[in-house]
Amino acid sequence: MPEVPSYAMRVVDALEAAGHEAWVVGGWVRDALMGRPGHDVDVTCSSPWEETERVLRAAGIEVHQTGVAHGTVTAVVDGLPVETTTYRVEGAYSDRRHPDEVRFVTDVRQDLARRDFTVNAMAYHPRRGLLDPFGGERDLGLGVIRAVGEPRRRFEEDALRVLRAVRFACRLGFSIEPATQEALVACAGELDAMARERVGAELDGILASGRMAWALRHEFAVMAAAVPELAPMAGFDQRSPYHAYDVAEHTARVCAGVECACGGRPSQALRWAALLHDVAKPACFSLDASGRGHFFGHPEEGARVAGRVMGRLALPKSMTREAQALICLHDLPVRPVAASCRRMMSLLEAACPGRGRALAFALVDLKRADALAKAPACRGYAVELDAMAARVRAEVAAGCPLTVRELPVGGDDVIRERGLEPGPGVGLVLDALLAAVLAGELGHGREELLAELRMGE
């Protein structure tokens, strides 16, 4: 077992010196046993929160009351927080969201029994060792997420645990133990009643794990319970020679594809875009006379649906806007030539000011993952997209302007060189200059643009 960080041991030791019992618990213990130290440290203790606060303050430790109704105070040692919570059990969950009461108890085992999964229900103390009444260490070895106690009851108490199970399975690369899996599917419908932002945070965590493809393939019912807009994707035959899979499997492949894209670690906006890029396909479907499927306007409609979904889940507005821009433009035809690449960057810049260049790489990554996830015939386009990423890099390095404001000439130059009065005509001239620069008909040096203005007089 790695050593418990000394800042957290100051909290444990101060409480024990005052005659109480304290353990490190939850995520730190789990991750440390997996050889991944670095998780924030939570402490569970026998003292009531008022006493915890008093003892820690007397030891010269800063304390904040961060959740005293649940027995939680946060100690801050060397600038690092240690959440410190009194042993507790939870009463009934009559609304299936919040425990009706929390009851403080004196036995750490009772506290461990209220926790969600065996791998999260272990306590550790450097002198007393590991306390693991539910086989968490065994389950870490087996690589399984298993509910503590009777799974059905545990998910009925708090439906968010359904998504937490999937998130931990994704994060740790584990599978879900069969009885837990059965209960999870039976209770997924209860996610509907959960606070939207808690659902949003768990889904964001599943995407951040980089294993959304696994979640879509193995836990589609849970994903569709959390985001009902995903449901029509399963089994939806696209009737297209370019698509070898239904929309759900295609989406899983795109999610896996963006994880190994060329831009390094994908942004969360790109991950959300991968998940939702084809969300409107089933709604925009029509068949032509030869029986081939078409999806007129699905990227634009998909961006609209994504805005609705991500807004409902209370995800950050800037991330939502970026995901929408990527979804909206994911079918934009691009070629690895400068003009095409600049046009793509300027469209992204218009949608998300200040982010056009960064988003261009994300869009190339999304388009490549999308092409590779289609039928084998589309692989050639994926190769072109590799060249596209290099082209975007070159354009960014060359400092090509993407908006009128970034042009090295402005309204004053137009008025002076063209002898115009101030007014809307000035803006039109600048728009035309930008269009010529983006198309590669003009360079973007100030002298060249001034000369162009003089010539057009």
CB of 334 to ligand ATP, least distance (A): 38
For ligand ATP, the binding residues in 239-268 under the rule CB under 6 A are none
Q: Which is nearer to ligand ATP, 168 or 361 (CB)?
A: 168
* Token pair recorded at residue 90: 């939870």
Determine the residue type at 189. Answer: G
CB of 171 to ligand ATP, least distance (A): 7
* Rounded CA separation 214/170 (Å): 7
Binding mask 28-67 for ligand ATP (x = CB under 6 A): -----------x--x-------------------------
CA dist list (Å): 235 to 246, 276, 416: 5, 16, 63
Q: Are the CB atoms for 405 and 350 separated by under 8 Å?
A: no
CB of 26 to ligand ATP, least distance (A): 3
16, 27, 37, 343: which one contacts Mg ion (CB under 5 A)?
A: 27
Determine the residue type at 48. Answer: P
Q: Which is nearer to ligand ATP, 9 or 160 (CB)?
A: 160
Which of Mg ion, ligand ATP, none is residue 84 near (CB under 5 to 8 Å by kind)?
none
* Rounded CA separation 94/85 (Å): 23
Residues paired with 43 in a beta bridge: 24, 84
* Rounded CA separation 76/8 (Å): 9
CB of 199 to ligand ATP, least distance (A): 12
Stretch of 15-23, 25-33, 116-124, 126-134 lying at the interface with Mg ion (CB under 5 A)? 25-33
12, 23, 26, 56: which one contacts ligand ATP (CB under 6 A)?
A: 26
Distance of alpha carbon 245 from its chain centroid, rounded? 25
Q: Are the CB atoms for 88 and 104 separated by under 8 Å?
A: yes
Q: Which is nearer to ligand ATP, 164 or 281 (CB)?
A: 164
* Rounded CA separation 168/171 (Å): 5
Task: Give the HSE-up count for residue 61: Cα atoms under 13 Å, Cβ half-sphere.
Answer: 28
Q: Which is nearer to ligand ATP, 115 or 253 (CB)?
A: 115
Q: Which is nearer to ligand ATP, 120 or 320 (CB)?
A: 120
CB of 160 to ligand ATP, least distance (A): 5
Which of Mg ion, ligand ATP, none is residue 116 near (CB under 5 to 8 Å by kind)?
ligand ATP
DSSP 93: -
CB of 234 to ligand ATP, least distance (A): 27
Q: Which is nearer to ligand ATP, 197 or 448 (CB)?
A: 197
- Report the chain's terminal Cα–Cα distance, integer Å: 78
Q: Are the CB atoms for 121 and 57 separated by under 8 Å?
A: no
For ligand ATP, the binding residues in 113-142 under the rule CB under 6 A are 115-116, 120-121
Q: Is 146 in the site for ligand ATP (CB under 6 A)?
A: no
Q: Which is nearer to ligand ATP, 158 or 365 (CB)?
A: 158
Residue nearest to ligand ATP (CB): 27
Q: Is 346 in the site for ligand ATP (CB under 6 A)?
A: no
For ligand ATP, the binding residues in 77-116 under the rule CB under 6 A are 115-116
Alpha helices (H) in 317-423, listed in sequence order: 317-328, 338-351, 356-372, 379-398, 411-418
Burial class (CB in 10 A: 0-12, 13-18, 19+), 450: middle
Q: Which is nearer to Mg ion, 121 or 269 (CB)?
A: 121
CA dist list (Å): 146 to 39, 163, 195: 21, 13, 24
Q: Which is nearer to Mg ion, 205 or 411 (CB)?
A: 205
Q: Is 161 in the site for ligand ATP (CB under 6 A)?
A: yes
Stretch of 24-32, 128-136, 138-146, 391-399 lying at the interface with Mg ion (CB under 5 A)? 24-32
CA dist list (Å): 156 to 90, 101, 185: 13, 16, 11
53, 111, 158, 417: which one contacts ligand ATP (CB under 6 A)?
A: 158
DSSP 150: -
Strands 144-145 and 62-67: unpaired
Q: How many residues bind ligand ATP (CB under 6 A)?
A: 12
Provide the binding-site residues for ligand ATP, judged by CB under 6 A. 26-27, 39, 42, 115-116, 120-121, 158, 160-161, 164
Provide the binding-site residues for Mg ion, judged by CB under 5 A. 27
